[in-house]
Structure 1
Amino acid sequence: MAALAVACAVGLIVDDRILVGAPIWLKPFKFAVSFAVYGLTLAWMLSRRTTASRTGRWAAHAVVVSGLTEMAIIAAQALRGRRSHFNVETPLDQLLFSVMGITIAVLWVATFVIAVILWRARLGDRATDQAIRLGLLIALAGLLLGGLMVGPTAEQQAAGDLDTVIGAHSVGVPDGGPAMPLTGWSTTGGDLRIPHFLGMHALQAIPLFLYTIETLAGRFTRLRDERVRLRLVQVTAGCVAALVALATWQALRGQALIHPDAATLGALGAIAVATAAGTYSALRRRPGPTGDDALLPPLSKEST
């Protein structure tokens, strides 16, 4: 995937073709990077088991094969100048899009099997266990949200034009309209790729958050308490899950990410307040074995 990302980056430079409002090699590039990160993350998670299992190995192989198949189709269609997703214009396009649907289903099932294996294994302390397990759980939900894109849109049904394209990333506007740089997310309507992205990358975000607070534990003694780190991971996972739900709701209402209405802002504010309250609760002084459970400022020579 890393090698393919480099090849696609070269394609972005030397190939000036545009497809659905974006450089034709941008989608393969983003997918290659995403699969590389996804594979590395799952490999790291599986490496934390104390004992290997045949089921886990086969599930990992299934992720690899399905990812390679998906990327082969995306790259091949880009080379042909054709859409990979939602394209049913020719029998070959229909076949390739159907195969992609199968590969994503296999990827989801394999990831689910890995999640079950890791849920039952001891991967570190309790905070580490929760960071990995909750990240996987939200990622599985994020993968499922991709299914919202594959059905015919209201506009496609109203026009009776289901012979070339079925499904879309955008809601309320056609794909290929004004979009945000790099991500390509719509700036004029809803975009279901946003909750899909947020959910999938909880797989990396929550363990990285734990790594960050473990790094800060050298400066804040409160963070050295495993119970505190566990509570902070749980609050973070709750915040991420709520943001995924909010982004889904916003997209389904045909609302662009950068143009939220009062209801969306109100829900975002409620999430912020709940997260702040949860963080305060996680950090506040609680009776402990040593009686020293307070969050301290950065250590100085005097305090040391």
Structure 2
Amino acid sequence: MTNPFTRRPGGTPGAHLPLALCAAAMAVLALAAATGLAVDGRTVLGEPVWLKPFKFALSFALYAGTLSWMIGQARRWRRTLWWLGTVAAAGFVLPEISAITFQAGRGVRSHFNFETGLDSTVFAVMGGAAYLGWLMTFAMGVFLLSQKRTLERPMAWAVPLGIAVSLAGMSVGYLMTAPTPEQAQALDAGLKLATIGAHSVGAPDAGAGMPLTGWKTGAGDLRVGHFVGLHALQALPLVAVGLRLLARRVTVLRDLTVRTALVVVVAIGYGGLTWLLVWQAQRSQPLTSPDATTLTAAATLLGAVALAAAGVLLAASRRVPARTPVAATR
């Protein structure tokens, strides 16, 4: 059986083709949804019907493209990672975006919709795809963790930490599917509901929202933490790349141990930010209207990350010679 990876010179595998094609398809769908935003005036809960397919297509393009690149860096467990990535593309991304686009075409909401048997089935398909996507992403993270000896150390830590925080961000979606207190009371009373679950906390989903994102301005919105956590998948590897580029000019960053420690500090801070945004939403606070408690928590988190990073740099500056070449060891 041939290796499903495309090989590059030197034996390093190329990008994961099914995920790369999936990312390209999502980019095309995002353009189509953007056209729908321009020509279709229908709305659902006050938002354009094509806004959700547009946002999800962009998000899935980033997800698939990033994992395609990550798998492309692997030198171990390549066949296993290929199959996991393929299942994620075919069983998670495509079914979920297809369900969202299908409901947008019908002019109805895709999430939490139990109005008809068809709506319930579509939402069940989305839920099953989301669970499968979480499991496949977790499994890929486990096997990518084994690449620490083949990747430069900062990136070897950024990849699994990015996946770990991203999984936490994905998990926020499950909080949204739980009935709100009002919905729970109605269900206990034996009523049949058209909507079960919500993005918002403290007000209906139909309230005023921020431009483009649609995040609520009059209530807490769990999508904020969901979004931020999910895209740790891209953010933390970019931090590793940025630190490597800075190492050309900043002597202390030429030490791989220093860059690795900074990646870990940023990852902890990023995870803390994700938790903070979920906590804020669960207290019915909009992102744009934090109270003193939220601001204090944010300042404490920022201060702790800054102090930790400063400590890493200070300790390193005392031991790194003035002209240390870029480290080649891993």
Deviates further, 68-77 or 46-55: 46-55
- Return the alpha-carbon distance in structure 2 between the equivalents of residues 110 and 245 of structure 1: 23
Cα offset, 1:162, TM superposition: 4.7
Q: Name the CA shift for 1:282/1:289 in 2 (closer, same or farther; >3 Å).
A: closer
Cα offset, 1:287, TM superposition: 7.7
Alignment correspondent of 1:299: none
- 1:261-300 equivalences under 5 Å are 261-286=291-316, 291-292=321-322
- Return the alpha-carbon distance in structure 1 between the equivalents of residues 108 and 181 of structure 2: 23
- Return the alpha-carbon distance in structure 2 between the equivalents of residues 38 and 291 of structure 1: 40
Tell me, what secondary structure is at the counterpart of 1:149? Answer: helix
Cα offset, 1:22, TM superposition: 0.6
Deviates further, 281-290 or 236-245: 281-290
Pick aligned residue for 1:73 from 88, 91, 99: 99
Cα offset, 1:289, TM superposition: 7.2
Tell me, what secondary structure is at the counterpart of 2:229? Answer: helix
- 1:161-176 equivalences under 5 Å are 162-176=192-206
Pick aligned residue for 1:93 from 94, 119, 123: 119
- Return the alpha-carbon distance in structure 2 between the equivalents of residues 206 and 121 of structure 1: 16
Alignment correspondent of 2:145: 119
Deviates further, 10-19 or 148-157: 148-157
Contact 1:136 1:202 (C-alpha < 8 Å) held by counterparts: yes
1:12 aligns with 2:37: yes
Q: Name the CA shift for 1:293/1:232 in 2 (closer, same or farther; >3 Å).
A: farther
Query: What amino acid sits opposite 1:189 in the alignment?
Result: A
TM-score by length of 2: 0.86
Deviates further, 152-161 or 108-117: 152-161
1:192 aligns with 2:218: no
Aligned pair count?
Answer: 294
1:234 aligns with 2:264: yes
- Return the alpha-carbon distance in structure 2 between the equivalents of residues 264 and 288 of structure 1: 36
Q: Name the CA shift for 1:85/1:252 in 2 (closer, same or farther; >3 Å).
A: same
Alignment correspondent of 2:177: 150
Q: Name the CA shift for 1:170/1:207 in 2 (closer, same or farther; >3 Å).
A: same
Pick aligned residue for 1:246 from 251, 276, 279: 276
- Return the alpha-carbon distance in structure 1 between the equivalents of residues 78 and 316 of structure 2: 40
Q: Name the CA shift for 1:32/1:287 in 2 (closer, same or farther; >3 Å).
A: closer
Pick aligned residue for 1:44 from 62, 69, 77: 69
Cα offset, 1:142, TM superposition: 0.8
Cα offset, 1:157, TM superposition: 2.9
Kindly provide the CA deviation profile for residues 122-149 of structure 1, in whole angstroms up to 9, marking residues without a partner as x.
3411111111110010001111111000
Structure 1, unpaired ranges of 5+: 295-304
Contact 1:84 1:97 (C-alpha < 8 Å) held by counterparts: yes
Identity of aligned residues (%): 45
TM-score by length of 1: 0.93
Kindly provide the CA deviation profile for residues 51-88 of structure 1, in whole angstroms up to 9, marking residues without a partner as x.
45332111101111121011111101100111110000
Tell me, what secondary structure is at the counterpart of 2:297? Answer: helix
Alignment correspondent of 2:22: none
- Return the alpha-carbon distance in structure 2 between the equivalents of residues 53 and 290 of structure 1: 37
Contact 1:185 1:193 (C-alpha < 8 Å) held by counterparts: yes
- Return the alpha-carbon distance in structure 2 between the equivalents of residues 32 and 76 of structure 1: 13
Structure 2, unpaired ranges of 5+: 1-25, 325-330
Q: Name the CA shift for 1:289/1:251 in 2 (closer, same or farther; >3 Å).
A: closer
Query: What amino acid sits opposite 2:259 in the alignment?
Result: R
- Return the alpha-carbon distance in structure 1 between the equivalents of residues 256 and 132 of structure 2: 36
- Return the alpha-carbon distance in structure 2 between the equivalents of residues 262 and 48 of structure 1: 44
Tell me, what secondary structure is at the counterpart of 2:145? Answer: helix
